[in-house]
Amino acid sequence: MFRYVLAWIPMLFIAVANGAFRQLTFAKVMSEPNAHQLSTLIGSVCIGVFIWFIVRKRPPSSSRQALLIGLVWVLLTVTFETVMGLVLQHRPMQDVLYEYNLFAGRVWPLFLVWLGVAPWTFFRLGRTQNAA
């Protein structure tokens, strides 16, 4: 399991690169909510490709472990985002929680769902392909 925790670290770099890409390109010509949504989609695809690679190279031992990996990655991500917002950016908790408001057009929770189920999804797809 430790190797999957370590595999979460490159996802931070992917996320930072995605954020930089957003700020340098389409955030200049789109509204903030739309840029955020597009960036979340791009980040989901990029991190999905990375997860696919990890699961293919080092498959979990079971569906249960794949779900546990996703849960751990979600917990690490939410913890990191919360600490970043509260401690490093000195944002109030209300602002941090706003990022989770689907009704306000914030799609971050959908990314977290994807992050949680992606290891299981790719594990199941890999087993289906191997069985065929």
Please report the pLDDT score of residue 126 as a whole number.
84
Measured CA distances, 18 to 15, 81, 109 (Å): 5, 15, 17
CA–CA separation, 41 vs 55, rounded Å?
21
Please report the pLDDT score of residue 38 as a whole number.
97
Single-letter residue type at 4: Y
Please report the pLDDT score of residue 127 as a whole number.
72
Please report the pLDDT score of residue 29 as a whole number.
96
Please report the pLDDT score of residue 1 as a whole number.
87
> How high is the mean pLDDT in each 10-residue block of the chain (132 residues)?
95 96 96 95 98 96 97 97 94 94 94 98 82 55
Please report the pLDDT score of residue 77 as a whole number.
97
Helix (H, G, I), strand (E, B) or coil at 39: helix
Please report the pLDDT score of residue 130 as a whole number.
59
Task: State the pTM of this model.
Answer: 0.91
